[in-house]
């Protein structure tokens, strides 16, 4: 089964998540595609539409307000003309009462006032109301009638009798005209004052709206970009888990996610090929030691078989049986050696299981035993009993430990020492396996680069620079990490941090599904 890790950036010890293919599409790709589409283009269009709609509302209100102000100004002009005509009529009225002249002029101005009132009747009704226009018309009519009666009067005493009525109606007309002119002037000034403030209100609200919309869009876009930056860092660290949906909708970034998933799967395939190719190289290194180890049982088998052939007729049955048993024993010994090598070399997918660390290390050391022996290296093992099982893939972890041990062998002169120890990590739920040598150490300026692919300090015939890079990738995919400490002239310590079964409790179920 093709095991991958979770979508989120994993701390050491996180479980792996399978990436399954359904038909011709992967489940994570189907999940990315199955959401409703709310594209960035649509969100930008919606944001600008909101701003445009708000601007349009303000613009329409401004047009409406300006139309109202224009109507009020026209009304003020009509009201001013009306007031001027009433005042002129009152002036000529006084002349007539005092001197008996200008009555026709007064009547003429009064007629003009009536025409102005009738001409602007609709406008005045909208502003003052129908009752007000009726009252003004009635007052004007009464004043006109009294003025006519004064004109028909024969002498001064009779005209003076109508003077109180004239003053009453005329004064009321002037007072009403003056009041509604002043009232409308105040309304116009208020409307003009509001129209002067509205642009500032509009700019303030527009600024807040732009800030809110921009913050929302930037937050969405930048948060997604930051997630993809995390994905990129994850991939660079060897975590080839697929990208899963984070939101309830999809946009242009979803297509980028699909492209990332395709890239991740391709990188995962090539990474596995790289691991297998390095494993084959390790097998070639091990074969030399295994061949030496096979010589002993094969030689014993040949000698025993030759002895049995030569003395077959003279030997008693019991001795013949002992010789056959020796042949079987040495053959089984050879079989075990070859099986261990084949088990290590066999290509397979990751199989995440709980493993006994002691048996895992013993199996790895068994494969490199002769290589260590031929190099005359003192290999010391000090394991802590009763440690919890680790979680990982047996063959992959064997490859890691074999790489680290062989690297230490290559770095040591004859009679050098390698110490392998294990213990519980200070980080809960992890076990540390330390592989320490007393070699020349790694210079400080080289230390940060030793896990880079194709970087090596060995001669060309001894290394390709892939061992530590591949080992780091394997351990990180299994939820752990590899660190290194080294001092020139003092030696080097590689620490392999592996999760115990107590951390990724759901991995076994995922691996077996």
Cα distances from 482 to residues 12, 346, 442, in angstroms, run: 10, 24, 16
Percent of the chain at pLDDT > 70 equals: 79
| Cα-to-chain-centroid distance, residue 71 | 56
Q: Which position has the token pair 């000034």?
A: 189
User: How many CB atoms neighbour CB 348 within 10 A?
Assistant: 11
64-to-61, 68, 195, 244, 368 alpha-carbon distances in Å: 5, 6, 11, 53, 92
Confidence band, pLDDT 50/70/90 cuts, at residue 113: confident
> At 509, is the pLDDT very low, low, confident or very high (cuts 50, 70, 90)?
very low
Over residues 457-469, the mean pLDDT reads 56
Please state, in angstroms and rounded to a whole number, the distance separating the CA atoms of residues 426 and 33: 43
What confidence category does residue 419 fall into, taking pLDDT thresholds of 50, 70 and 90?
Answer: very high
pLDDT greater at residue 285 or residue 95: 95
Of residues 123 and 405, more confidence is placed in 405
Name the residue among 431, 365, 433, 420 with its Cα closest to residue 398: 365
**Mean pLDDT throughout 211-217?**
83
List, in order, residues 6 or more apart from 32 with CB less than 8 Å away: 243, 244, 245, 250, 254, 257, 258, 261
Per the CB < 8 A criterion, the answer to whether 415 and 376 are in contact is: yes
Q: Does residue 97 register a pLDDT over 80?
A: no
The angle that helices 40-99 and 163-236 make with each other, rounded to 10 degrees, is 170
Q: Report the C-alpha gap between 422 and 115 in whole angstroms.
A: 112
Residues 476/480/484/485 CA torsion (nearest 10 deg): 160
Alpha-carbon span 226 to 228, nearest angstrom: 5
Host H or E run for residue 26: strand 25-26
* Count of H-run helices and E-run strands, the chain: 13, 11
The pLDDT score that the predictor gives to residue 460 is: 46
How many degrees, rounded to 5, is the angle at CA 428 between CA 427 and CA 434? 55
Residue 15 to residue 26: CA distance in whole angstroms: 20
Q: What fold does the segment set 268-512 form as a domain?
A: Heat Shock Protein 90 (3.30.565)
- Looking at residues 61-65, what average pLDDT do you find? 83
Among candidates 319, 317, 360, 367, which has minimal Cα distance to 339? 367
User: Strand, helix or coil at 101?
Assistant: coil
Residue 340 CB burial class (10 angstroms; 0-12, 13-18, ≥19):
middle
Predicted confidence at residue 3, as pLDDT, reads 34
Residue 14 has pLDDT above 60, yes or no: no
Q: What is the pLDDT of residues 336-395, one digit of tens each?
A: 666 655 655 554 556 778 888 888 888 888 878 777 887 888 999 898 888 889 888 887
Beta bridge partners of 250: 37
pLDDT band, very low/low/confident/very high, at 417 (cuts 50, 70, 90): very high
Could you tell me if 242 and 26 are in contact, meaning their C-beta atoms sit under 8 angstroms apart?
yes
DSSP H or E segment with residue 487: strand 481-487
pLDDT at 443: 85
In whole angstroms, give the CA distance from residue 403 to residue 472.
11
pLDDT the model gives residue 508: 37
Residue 250 tokens read as: 């999809």
Q: How far apart are CA 367 and CA 405, in angstroms?
A: 11
Question: In angstroms, rounded to a whole number, what is the distance separating the alpha carbons of residues 374 and 414?
Answer: 9
Record the tokens describing residue 29, joined without a space. 């790709």
Distance (Å, whole) CA 55 – CA 237:
50
Q: Which pLDDT score, from 0 to 100, does residue 496 have?
A: 93
DSSP at 447: G
Q: 42-213 in CATH: which number?
A: 1.20.120.1730
Mean pLDDT over 418-439 rounds to: 89
Neighbours of 103 (CB within 10 A): 18
228 has pLDDT over 80: yes
Q: Is 60 exceeded by the pLDDT of residue 13? A: no
Per-domain boundaries in the chain: 42-213, 268-512
């Amino acid at each position: 089964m093709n095991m991958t890790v979770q979508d989120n950036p994993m701390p050491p010890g996180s479980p792996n998540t399978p990436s399954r293919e359904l038909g011709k599409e992967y489940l994570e790709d189907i999940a990315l595609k199955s959401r409703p589409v709310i594209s960035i283009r649509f969100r930008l269009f919606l944001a600008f539409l909101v701003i445009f709609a708000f601007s349009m509302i303000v613009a329409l209100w401004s047009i409406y307000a300006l139309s109202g102000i224009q109507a009020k100004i026209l009304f003020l002009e009509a009201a001013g003309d009306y007031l001027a005509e009433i005042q002129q009529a009152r002036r000529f009225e006084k002349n007539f009462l005092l001197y008996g002249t200008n009555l026709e002029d007064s009547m003429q101005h009064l007629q003009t006032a009536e025409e102005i009132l009738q001409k602007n009747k609709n406008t005045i009704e909208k502003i003052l109301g129908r009752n007000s226009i009726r009252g003004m018309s009635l007052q004007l009519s009464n004043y006109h009638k009294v003025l006519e009666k004064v004109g028909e009067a024969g002498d001064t005493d009779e005209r003076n009798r109508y003077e109180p009525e004239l003053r009453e109606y005329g004064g009321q007309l002037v007072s009403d005209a003056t009041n509604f002119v002043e009232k409308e002037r105040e309304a116009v000034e208020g409307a003009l004052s509001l129209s002067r403030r509205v642009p500032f209100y509009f700019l303030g609200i527009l600024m807040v709206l732009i800030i809110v919309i921009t913050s929302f869009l930037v937050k969405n876009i930048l948060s997604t970009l930051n997630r993809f930056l995390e994905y990129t860092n994850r991939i660079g660290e060897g975590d080839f888990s697929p990208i899963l949906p984070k939101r309830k909708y999809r946009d242009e970034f979803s297509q980028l996610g699909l492209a990332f998933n395709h890239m991740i799967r391709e990188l995962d395939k090539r990474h596995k090929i790289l691991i297998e190719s390095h494993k084959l190289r390790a097998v070639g290194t091990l074969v030399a030691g295994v061949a030496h180890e096979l010589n002993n049982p094969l030689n014993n088998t040949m000698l025993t078989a030759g002895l049995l052939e030569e003395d077959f007729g003279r030997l008693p049955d019991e001795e013949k049986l002992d010789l056959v048993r020796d042949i079987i024993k040495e053959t089984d010994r050879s079989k075990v050696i070859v099986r261990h090598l084949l088990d290590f070399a066999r290509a397979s997918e990751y199989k995440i299981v709980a493993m006994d660390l002691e048996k895992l290390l013993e199996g790895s050391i068994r494969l490199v035993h002769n290589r260590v022996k031929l190099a005359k290296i003192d290999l010391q093992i000090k394991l802590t009993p009763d440690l919890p099982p680790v979680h990982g893939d047996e063959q992959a972890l064997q490859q890691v430990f074999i790489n680290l041990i062989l690297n230490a062998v290559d770095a040591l002169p004859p009679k050098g020492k390698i110490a392998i120890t294990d213990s519980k990590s200070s980080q809960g739920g992890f076990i540390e396996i330390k592989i320490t040598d007393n070699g020349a150490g790694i210079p400080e300026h080289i230390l940060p680069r030793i896990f880079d692919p194709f970087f090596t300090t060995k001669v060309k015939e001894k290394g390709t620079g892939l061992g530590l890079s591949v080992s780091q990738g394997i351990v990180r995919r299994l939820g752990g990490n590899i660190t290194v400490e080294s001092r020139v002239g003092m030696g080097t310590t590689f620490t392999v941090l592996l999760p115990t079964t107590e951390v990724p409790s759901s991995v076994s179920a995922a691996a077996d599904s």
